[in-house]
């Protein structure tokens, strides 16, 4: 597996083209080989691509709004054109809208709509990516899990997934098992740890935090083994918040953790 980073970890250091250039350079020096991040509003897509090329960084997937593509075929065409510019075969969509999240039928309706978008995207040789958080692991009783619906009822050739280690842990599932469930449908995974903060006042109180790889409670050897088993190509470090830690230090510790566990 290769190592990537979601630049949101280092967002505090960015703000213009020159600073973005510096951040990409430092990430490359740490050993990161790929980037997943929105196109900042202070650079054009072409300028962003030039900076990535300058540092030899691959852009893993282009983001697009599900709602826009669901309503307007032009939005699908624009997403395909953007992915062509960045030389990626993946278009990732935002989390499913609230109206689909509450029921089994809502999950199924969302899957149907995602399939309709994927049918168009497939014609260009590309795939839709869906990135679950914790809500997709909601239980509807009798062993029915929302994420199972998304896996089983979306087009296996047109819809792939970007699972996230922290959110799987938050969802209370066995990480390695769910990684294997998407065999053949996941080339990119998000790596961040799930840490329980000590010293809470009540024993029922849970204070969980995003943490660097290897600095929390996740069983990383089993996760890395499962990723290798199913052919994951990129482990992408994400840390939604560094809290009071220095972000470059967080990125470096996650890199060290991935190397330690065999990425």
pLDDT band at 82 (very low <50, low <70, confident <90, very high): very high
Any idea which architecture 1-61+162-263 has in CATH?
Answer: Alpha-Beta Barrel (3.20)
152 CB-near residues (< 8 Å, 6+ apart): none
Q: Where are the domains of the chain?
A: 1-61+162-263, 66-156
- pLDDT for residue 15: 96
Q: 201 pLDDT exceeds 90?
A: no
Structural contact between residues 159 and 145, judged by C-beta atoms closer than 8 angstroms: no
3 neighbors 33 (Cβ within 8 angstroms): yes
Assess whether pLDDT exceeds 90 at residue 202. Answer: no
Q: What is the pLDDT of residue 210?
A: 98
Element (H, E) at 30: helix 17-30
199 has pLDDT over 90? no
Q: What is the pTM of this model?
A: 0.96
Tens digit of each residue's pLDDT (9 = 90 or more) over 154-197: 999 999 999 999 999 999 999 999 999 999 999 999 999 999 99
Per the DSSP assignment, residues forming a β-bridge with 90 are 127
pLDDT at 206: 85
3-state DSSP helix/strand/coil % of the chain, to nearest 5: 45, 15, 40
Q: What is the mean pLDDT of residues 106-131?
A: 98
Task: Write down the mean pLDDT value for the chain.
Answer: 97
């Amino acid at each position: 597996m290769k190592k990537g980073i979601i630049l949101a970890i280092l967002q505090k250091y960015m703000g213009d083209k020159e600073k973005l250039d510096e951040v990409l350079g430092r990430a490359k020096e740490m050993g990161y080989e790929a980037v997943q991040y929105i196109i900042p509003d202070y650079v054009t897509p072409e300028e962003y691509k030039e900076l990535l090329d300058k540092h030899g960084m691959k852009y893993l997937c282009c983001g697009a709004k599900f709602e826009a593509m669901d309503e307007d075929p032009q939005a699908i065409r624009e997403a395909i054109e953007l992915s062509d510019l960045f030389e990626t075969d993946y278009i990732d969509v935002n989390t499913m809208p609230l109206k689909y999240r509450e029921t089994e039928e809502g999950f199924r309706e969302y899957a149907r709509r995602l399939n309709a978008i994927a049918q168009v995207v497939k014609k260009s040789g590309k795939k839709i990516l869906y990135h679950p958080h914790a809500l997709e692991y909601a239980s509807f009783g009798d062993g029915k899990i929302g994420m199972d619906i998304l896996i089983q009822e979306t087009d296996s050739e047109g819809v792939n997934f970007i699972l996230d280690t922290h959110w799987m842990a938050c969802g209370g599932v066995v990480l390695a098992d769910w990684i294997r469930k998407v065999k053949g449908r996941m080339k990119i995974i998000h790596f961040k740890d799930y840490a329980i903060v000590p010293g809470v006042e009540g024993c029922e109180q849970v204070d969980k935090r995003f943490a660097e790889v290897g600095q929390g409670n996740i069983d990383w050897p089993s996760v890395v083994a499962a990723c290798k088993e199913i052919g994951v190509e990129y482990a992408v470090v994400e840390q939604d918040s560094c809290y009071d830690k220095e972000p470059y230090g967080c990125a470096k510790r996650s890199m060290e953790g991935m190397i330690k566990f065999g990425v």
